[in-house]
Amino acid sequence: MAYTTPHNSAPKGAFANTVLMPGDPLRSKFIAENFFDSPELVNNVRGVQGYTGWYHGKRVSVMASGMGMPAIGIYSQELFQFYDVTSVIRIGSCGSLDKDLHIRDLIIAQGACTDSRYAEQYALPGTFCPIGSYRLLRAAADEAASRNVHYKVGNVLSSDHFYNEANTLDWAKMGVLGVEMEAAALYCNAARLGKDALCILTVSDSLVNKEPETSPEERERTFTDMVEIALAIAD
């Protein structure tokens, strides 16, 4: 059967209105199997696993974004454009640039600064400022506040570089809270297509405090709060 998009074999209608996007396909599977009722695998092209199921009676989906802005750029664009998805909530990890944000704390990305040229495709006569959906942001902050989690709302840096020779800490001078690799492209796509997007991040390491890095297994476990917040605000 022909694919619906070059990268997604799910039939039209296979995704819910809201899709959660972790970077890692195995995390997509973990979320579907541990948080959804009746999860169904709807896409597995390149192992980018996508599932649709139910959460407290609400139809929801999860699909991996892959790492970096080219990857989330492709997958989120296709969900918005070809599957009529209305909201994408990225749930990922980041490095902290803020002394008060420690491993396992949450960042809700109000805005996404970037060193990427992703927005140059729009040929705007200035600098576009990628921001998260205010509706989702407000709901996520309310949800986080009602739980016993430490979180901050603010700017993040979406970088094209995990191994970076530039001084990432310069962004901290501008109050940027953390560094990750996908939010700016997601926010650009949502803006261009009139959709809602939000990025919620768990701090997995700190660039400003001496803290032991979390293992992949540990990160998977500490995902729970972030996943439950994202599922709670999904519509």
Taking CA atoms, 83 is separated from 36, 46, 178, 218, in Å, by 20, 19, 31, 33
Contact map string, positions 95 to 134, toward ligand HPA, x by CB under 6 A: x---------------------------------------
Q: Give whichever of 195 and 219 is closer to ligand HPA, judged by the CB atom.
A: 219
Task: Identify which of residues 18 and 159 has a Cβ nearer to ligand HPA in the complex.
Answer: 159
The nearest distance, CB 164 to ligand HPA, in angstroms, is 8
User: Would strands 58-63 and 50-55 be described as parallel, antiparallel, or unpaired?
Assistant: antiparallel
Asked if 179 interacts with ligand HPA (CB under 6 A), we say yes
Taking CB under 6 A as the binding criterion, the range among 9-17, 98-106, 134-142, 178-186 that sits at the site for ligand HPA is 178-186
**Location of structure tokens 């476990």:** 221
Q: Which residues of 192-219 are buried (b: 16+ CB within 10 A; e: fewer)?
A: eeebbbbbbbbbbbbeeeeeeebeeeeb
Is residue 28 at the binding interface for ligand HPA, with CB under 6 A as the rule?
no
Site string for ligand HPA, 70-99 (x = CB under 6 A): -----------------------xxx----
Q: Which of left, alpha, beta for 69 (phi over 0: left; psi -120 to 50: alpha)?
A: alpha
Q: Give the containing element (helix H, strand E) for 228.
A: helix 224-233
Binding site for ligand HPA (CB under 6 A): 93-95, 159, 162, 179-181, 204-205
